[in-house]
Structure 1
Amino acid sequence: MSEQRTTVRFVSGSDECEAWLYTPAGSAGGAPRPAVVLGHGLGAVKEMGLDAYAERFAAAGYVVLVFDYRHFGNSGGEPRQLLDPDRQLADWAAALAYVRALPGVDADRVAIFGSSFGGGHVITVAARDPRVAAAISQCPFTDGIASAMTLGVPASLRLSVLALRDAAAALLGKPPVLVPLAAAPGGTALMNAADALPGYYALVPKGMHHPSEVPARIGLRIPRMAPGRDAARVRCPILFAVCDQDSVAPAGPTLRYAAKAPRGEVARYPIGHFDIYLGAAFERAIADQLAFLKRHVPV
Structure 2
Amino acid sequence: MQTGSRLSHLRYARTDADFESDGTRCAGWLYTPEGAARPPVVVMAHGFAGERTFGLEAYAEAFVARGYAAFLFDYRGFGDSDGEPRGLVDPGKQVTDWEAAIDHVRHLDGIDRGQIALWGTSLSGGHVVEAAAGDHRIAAVVAQVPLLDGRAATKAAGVGHALKGVAAGVRDTLRKYTFRSPYRVPVVADPDEFAVMNAPGAKRGMLDIVPDPPVWDNDVPARVLLDVPFYRPVTSAEDVSCPVLLVAGRDDAIVPSSSVESAADEFGDATLVSLPIDHFDVYGTAFDEVVAYESSFLDERILD
TM-score in terms of structure 1 length = 0.96
* 1:93 counterpart = 2:78: no
**Maintained 8 Å contact 2:153/2:255:** yes
Aligned to 1:3: 12
* 1:62 counterpart = 2:68: yes
Q: CA deviation at 1:136?
A: 0.1
* 1:21 counterpart = 2:27: no
Q: Equivalents in 2 of 1:130, 1:155: separation in Å? A: 38
Q: Equivalents in 2 of 1:260, 1:12: separation in Å? A: 30
SS at match of 1:175: coil
SS at match of 2:18: strand
Q: Equivalents in 2 of 1:223, 1:158: separation in Å? A: 13
Q: Equivalents in 1 of 2:272, 2:105: separation in Å? A: 27
Q: CA deviation at 1:186?
A: 3.8
Aligned to 1:190: 196
**Maintained 8 Å contact 2:182/2:221:** yes
Q: Equivalents in 1 of 2:299, 2:215: separation in Å? A: 36
**Maintained 8 Å contact 1:242/1:268:** yes
* 1:180 counterpart = 2:186: yes
Paired residue type of 1:197: K
Q: Equivalents in 2 of 1:174, 1:96: separation in Å? A: 34
**Maintained 8 Å contact 2:41/2:117:** yes
Q: CA deviation at 1:229?
A: 2.0
Paired residue type of 2:301: H
2:276 pairs with one of 267, 270, 275: 270
SS at match of 1:170: helix
Aligned to 1:103: 109
Paired residue type of 1:172: T
SS at match of 1:150: helix
Q: CA deviation at 1:253?
A: 1.3
1:138 pairs with one of 127, 144, 152: 144
Paired residue type of 2:299: K
**Maintained 8 Å contact 2:234/2:266:** no
1:286 pairs with one of 281, 287, 291: 291
Paired residue type of 1:12: S
User: Map of 1:207-246 to 2, 5 A cutoff?
Assistant: 207-246=213-252
Q: CA deviation at 1:196?
A: 0.8
Moved beyond 4 Å, runs of 4+: none
Q: CA deviation at 1:154?
A: 2.3
Q: Equivalents in 2 of 1:257, 1:203: separation in Å? A: 28
SS at match of 1:202: helix
Aligned to 1:171: 177
Tell me the C-alpha RMSD between the 2 structures.
1.2
Aligned to 1:40: 46
Which blocks of at least 5 consecutive residues in structure 1 are unaligned? none
SS at match of 1:232: helix
Q: CA deviation at 1:37?
A: 0.3
Higher mean C-alpha deviation, range 199-208 or range 69-78: 199-208
Q: Equivalents in 2 of 1:111, 1:294: separation in Å? A: 11
SS at match of 1:190: coil
2:57 pairs with one of 41, 51, 56: 51
2:206 pairs with one of 200, 206, 221: 200
Aligned to 1:82: 88
> Alignment length, in residue pairs?
295
**Maintained 8 Å contact 1:118/1:140:** yes
Q: Equivalents in 1 of 2:288, 2:222: separation in Å? A: 35
Deviations 1:54-86 (A, max 9, x none): 001111111110101001011011111111111
Paired residue type of 1:81: G
Which blocks of at least 5 consecutive residues in structure 2 are unaligned? 6-10
TM-score in terms of structure 2 length = 0.94
SS at match of 1:105: coil
Deviations 1:205-251 (A, max 9, x none): 22121110000000111011111222222110000011111111111
Q: Equivalents in 2 of 1:7, 1:148: separation in Å? A: 37
User: Map of 1:141-156 to 2, 5 A cutoff?
Assistant: 141-156=147-162
